[in-house]
Amino acid sequence: MHFFFFREAWRSFKHHRGLAYTAIFSLTAALAVCGVFLVLAHNAELAMKLVGDRREMVVYLRDEITREQRDALMARMNELYGQVTYVSRDEAWKEFTEQVGDPALLEAVDGNPLPASLRVKLRPELLNFTKMNEAARQVADFPEVEDVRFGGEWVKRLDEIGDGLKRGALAVGSVVALAIVFVMYNTIRLTVMARRPQVEIMSRLGATDRFIATPFIVEAMLEATFASVLALAAVFGLQRAFLTQALHVAFIPWAWIGIFLGAAVCLAWLAAVIALSRVLRAVGA
């Protein structure tokens, strides 16, 4: 029986090729826009993750603290905030001289003025401005600590960019979802109207709404699948042809592709169900 519905869907597709192609190409265009945005969002996410990995808190220590006090502080910070690395005064000076490079400038500095510090690679749940700020204030209150730096403005900016991308993805996703529903709704409505005599005959022979509707729903889902695959192929071609020449851009991960295909097919199903529930009554079936 299931094969029968697929055959019916294919029959409908063949008989109304114009409508089917229009639907597929309209959906492909909408889904390709969504696909391009997914590529951008994915790469932005990768970049954010890379930058996020470098987000750290630097805790400057008082000169007078003992080794035991330092070890105790490191153990506490390891437990509360993340992975801690100790940078001694000498190591800090060595890094500084490598960064400055010019011996004339270094000679102007009288001795090593740099304090010892702890570099804290924060836990993932602390990698946002609010949490980092709160953690920095707590650490600054420890008696062994002279000062705490974490580049607050930079972190805040990163968070804003991340939020903006999420909102953008949601907006584009919503517009594309609406486009899919709109295109499929109208395509199915027109297809049923074009096959009105057949629908009426089936109804008079005692076909249930489900029996009449299933081939149209299968057709809508197949069209959405074709359109999704075409859109992904187009975005992949675009990524290969242009983007990789200028800079390294990664394609959408497999999990996202699965969600993309699934969402398109589910939306087509939803649109077809809504359209059929209305149009079958309208044709008096």
Partner 1 sequence: MIAFEQVTKRYGERLALGSVSWRMDEGECVVFLGHNGAGKTTLLRLITHEIQPTLGTVTVGTFRTGRMSRSQRALLRRTLGIIYEDFRLLNDRTVFENVALAVRITGQFANDQVEPMVLHALDQVGLDDKQHAYPNELSGGEKQRTAIARAIVNRPAVILADEPTGALQRRSAEEVLGLLKRVNEEGAALVLVTTRRGVAENMGGRVIELEDGRVRPREVAPLGRVRVAES
Q: How far apart are CA 103 and CA 218, in angstroms?
A: 75
- List the one residue from 33, 207, 261, 274 that touches partner 1 (CB under 8 A): 207
Site string for partner 1, 152-191 (x = CB under 8 A): ----------------------------------------
Rounded Cα–Cα distance for residues 183 and 20 (Å) = 11
CA 279-284-285 angle, to 5 degrees, is: 85
Tokens in use for 104?
A: 């004339």
User: What's the 3-state SS for 113-151?
Assistant: CCCCEEEEEECHHHCCHHHHHHHHHHHHCCCCEEEEECC
Nearest approach in angstroms of CB 218 to partner 1 is 15
Q: Work out how close the CB of 160 gets to partner 1 at its nearest, in angstroms, rounded to a whole number.
A: 54
C-alpha distances out from residue 38 to 45, 170, 253, 267, Å: 10, 11, 10, 18
Closer residue to partner 1 in complex, CB, 16/56: 16
**Does residue 55 bind partner 1 (CB under 8 A)?**
no
Among 22, 97, 203, 225, binds partner 1 (CB under 8 A): 203
What's the sign of the alpha-carbon dihedral 17, 185, 231, 226?
negative
Smallest distance from partner 1 to CB 283, Å? 12
Query: Least distance to partner 1 from the beta carbon of 272, Å?
Result: 18
CB of 38 to partner 1, least distance (A): 40
Q: What angle do CA 7, 9, 10 make, to 5 degrees?
A: 65
User: Residue 141 class from Cβ within 10 Å (0-12 exposed, 13-18 middle, 19+ buried)?
Assistant: exposed
Chosen residue from 198, 256, 270, 273 binding partner 1 by CB under 8 A: 198
| Stretch binding partner 1 (CB under 8 A), from 115-123, 134-142, 198-206, 233-241 | 198-206
Interface pick for partner 1 out of 78, 83, 130, 208 (rule CB under 8 A): 208
> Which of residues 6, 15, 88, 175 is near partner 1 by CB under 8 A?
15
Interaction of residue 277 with partner 1, rule CB under 8 A: no
Q: Which span sits near partner 1 by CB under 8 A: 45-53, 113-121, 130-138, 194-202?
A: 194-202
8 A C-beta contact, residue 95 and residue 85 = no
Is 1 a binding residue for partner 1 by CB under 8 A? The answer is yes
Strand arrangement of the beta sheet that strand 117-122 belongs to: 82-87, 117-122, 56-61, 145-149
User: Which of 171, 178, 201, 282 touches partner 1 by CB under 8 A?
Assistant: 201
Which DSSP category does 250 fall into?
A: P
Under the binding rule (CB under 8 A), the answer on residue 282 touching partner 1 is no
* Member of 90, 160, 163, 209 binding partner 1 (CB under 8 A): 209
Residue 87, SS3 per DSSP? strand
Q: Which is nearer to partner 1, 91 or 200 (CB)?
A: 200
Enumerate binding residues for partner 1 (CB under 8 A): 1, 3-4, 11, 15, 197-198, 201-209, 211, 284
